[in-house]
């Protein structure tokens, strides 16, 4: 079975020192890098996502409820939106950005980030390139199963896993390569994923 690894939102703002930090975020970045070093050969494809906010409306708030509204985070092009330095990106083949103008939790809401190198020397305008979703990309690579890692377990990892199952992929969440915002919401998310058909893998 052809399997892809999806690395969700391992960005500075979601790690220690960031504006919406998850405890253990930097450790997840390092652990995912180690996993990729040891297991990249197990995957037919590797993709990653970035929260990439331009003007997401009520997703940002000065008085966030931490359910539907949040402090400002992962503003497009900002340091907070950049990938955490402990994540080794060498094995990542494609990046999907989500949430430019609205809230977006699932990787399946993201679109393939433009690759300037691809267009170098061409007359094509990047605006003329068709949008490519994560689902489009996975199907192009004939992927049947996905492993999901990253941040945060109880938000974007959960949403990505639920959408992956809904899209028909055999789906695993590698819990040791994730970190959640809070223990209670993380355990609730893991139960929800398992009930939906996600294989929740703990070492």
* Residue spans per domain, the chain: 3-201
* Tens-digit pLDDT profile for residues 33-47: 999 999 999 999 999
* Tens-digit pLDDT profile for residues 153-173: 999 999 999 999 999 999 999
Tokens of 52: 């990439």
DSSP state of 90: T
Q: Please identify every residue annotated as catalytic.
A: 9, 98, 156
Tell me the pLDDT band of 57, cut-offs 50, 70 and 90: confident
User: Which of 59, 53, 50 is closest to 8 using CA atoms?
Assistant: 50
Mean pLDDT computed over 45-50: 97
- CATH 2.60.40.420 for domain 3-201: no
Q: What is the predicted pLDDT for the residue at 56?
A: 82
* Tens-digit pLDDT profile for residues 70-86: 787 899 999 999 999 99
87 burial level (CB within 10 Å; 0-12, 13-18, 19+): buried
Taking 60 as the threshold, does the pLDDT of residue 120 lie above it?
Answer: no
Helix (H), strand (E), coil (C) string for 2-19: CEEEEEECCEHHHCCCCC
The C-alpha angle with vertex 21 and arms to 189 and 23, in degrees rounded to 5, equals 65
Q: What is the predicted pLDDT for the residue at 128?
A: 60
Give the predicted TM-score (pTM) of the model: 0.90
User: Which of 183, 190, 194 is closest to 24 using CA atoms?
Assistant: 183
Taking 70 as the threshold, does the pLDDT of residue 94 lie above it?
Answer: yes
Cross-strand pairs, 171: 146
Q: Could you tell me whether strands 45-51 and 94-98 are parallel, antiparallel, or unpaired per DSSP bridges?
A: parallel
């Amino acid at each position: 079975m052809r399997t892809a690894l999806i690395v969700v939102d391992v960005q500075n703002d979601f790690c220690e020192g960031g504006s919406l930090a998850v405890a253990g975020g930097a450790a997840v970045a390092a652990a995912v890098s180690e996993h990729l070093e040891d297991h990249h050969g197990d995957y037919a494809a590797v993709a990653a996502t970035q929260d990439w906010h331009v003007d997401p409306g009520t997703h940002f708030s000065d008085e966030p409820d931490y359910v539907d509204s949040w402090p400002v985070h992962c503003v497009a092009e900002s340091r907070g939106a950049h990938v955490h330095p402990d994540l080794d990106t060498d094995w990542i083949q494609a990046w999907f950005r989500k949430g430019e103008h609205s809230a977006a939790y699932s990787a399946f809401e993201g679109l393939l980030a433009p690759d300037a190198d691809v267009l170098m020397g061409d007359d094509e305008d990047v605006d003329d390139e068709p949008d490519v979703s994560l689902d489009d990309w996975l199907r192009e690579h004939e992927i049947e199963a996905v492993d999901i890692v990253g941040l945060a377990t109880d938000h974007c990892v959960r949403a990505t896993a639920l959408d992956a199952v809904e899209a028909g992929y055999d789906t695993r969440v590698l819990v040791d390569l994730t970190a959640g915002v809070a223990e209670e919401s993380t355990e609730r998310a893991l139960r929800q994923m398992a009930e939906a058909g996600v294989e929740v893998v703990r070492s």
